Amino acid sequence: MEEEELIIYRKHWQDWFLSLAARQRLTRPVQRWDAGGIAVSREEEVKGDVTVQGLIFIEASDYVEAVAVARDCPILLLGGIVEILQGK
- Measured distance CA(88)–CA(83) in Å, rounded: 16
Tens of pLDDT, residues 46-75 = 666 556 667 888 999 999 999 999 999 998
Got the DSSP string for the chain?
A: --HHHHHHHHHHHHHHHHHHHHTT-B-S--EE--TT-EEE-SS-EEESTTS--EE--B--SSHHHHHHHHTT-GGGGGT---------
Answer whether 0.95 is exceeded by the pTM: no
pLDDT, mean over the chain: 83
Percent of the chain with pLDDT over 70: 76
